[in-house]
A = this chain, B = another copy of it.
Amino acid sequence: MPQLYHFSLDPYCRRIRLVLGEYHRDAELIEERPWDDKAEFLQLNPAGLLPVFVDDDGTVAAGIEAVGEYLEDTLVDRSLSLLGENPEQRAEIRRLIAWFDGKFHHEVTAPILGEKLVRRFVSREAGGGSPNMNRVRLALKNIRPHLEYIGILTDDRNWLAGDELTLADFAAAAHLSTLDYLGDVPWRENERAKAWYQRIKSRRSFRPILADQIRNMPPPRIYADLDF
């Protein structure tokens, strides 16, 4: 069986777990905590980044860009593709993936995860300790225009990149689900973004994500609730 090196609250790993479900592919999950000693893991990805996917034939795809495209590239049943039907659609999907994996990650996910999660687990010498709440507050403010953008996109379209569900939706939902685990998404402020998230959260591929539990850090009740 293929192997996926992942960490449960990493948004990039979450996207891969979600799309594996959509593609009806199984993988053995191997947890790699981003702040642990990485000597062995660096053999798999010298950049030290998750996710890494090791296929049955030994092919290693390392990093979200490589893994995301590799799974599409090796899809046997093309009807399961989440990457659109023509170059124009694919360009729009990839623009939106970059929006969430780049801009949203930089402005929202990375500071919140860094302050509220990573600092709990690393030593004081490595930057551990109490979260810098100013940085958290700024990130929580930054999330609002992104929810508005999701609302605007889904006003005109069924899903973020068009009428079909695509990798762009899973990229966005992966980031938001990570923040939702920490109780940090102000869903009440944007009904349209919430309606979009409700639809994607109801998919079967989302179930394993909703069952995630970090030790000593349980999610809020609404995290796994489909009617949140």
List the interface of chain A (C-beta within 8 A of B). 45-47, 49, 59-67, 69-70, 73-74, 87-88, 90-92, 94-95, 97-99, 102-103, 149
Query: When chains A and B are docked, how far (Å) is the Cα of A45 from the Cα of B88?
Result: 14
Contact of A97 among B49, B65, B90, B98 (CB under 8 A): B65
Given A45-B95, A63-B98, A70-B91; 6 other pairs, CB 8 A cutoff: A47-B103, A61-B95, A63-B94, A66-B90, A69-B94, A70-B94
Instruction: Assess the B103–A91 pair: CB atoms within 8 A.
Output: no
Across the interface, which residues of B come within 8 angstroms of A103, CB to CB? 47
Contact of A66 among B59, B63, B66, B98 (CB under 8 A): B98
Across the interface, which residues of B come within 8 angstroms of A87, CB to CB? 59, 70, 73-74
Residue of B nearest to A58 (CB): B88
Query: When chains A and B are docked, how far (Å) is the Cα of A102 from the Cα of B91?
Result: 20
Contact of A98 among B65, B88, B92, B94 (CB under 8 A): B65
Instruction: Assess the B45–A65 pair: CB atoms within 8 A.
Output: no
CB of A23, distance to nearest CB on chain B (Å): 14
List 6 contacting pairs A-B, 8 Å CB cutoff, sorted by A.
Answer: A65-B94, A65-B97, A66-B98, A69-B91, A70-B94, A73-B87
Query: When chains A and B are docked, how far (Å) is the Cα of A210 from the Cα of B139?
Result: 41
Residue of B nearest to A84 (CB): B73
Query: When chains A and B are docked, how far (Å) is the Cα of A61 from the Cα of B64?
Result: 20
Instruction: Assess the B45–A66 pair: CB atoms within 8 A.
Output: no
Query: When chains A and B are docked, how far (Å) is the Cα of A159 from the Cα of B18?
Result: 34
Instruction: Assess the A90–B70 pair: CB atoms within 8 A.
Output: yes
CB of A73, distance to nearest CB on chain B (Å): 4
Instruction: Assess the A62–B91 pair: CB atoms within 8 A.
Output: yes
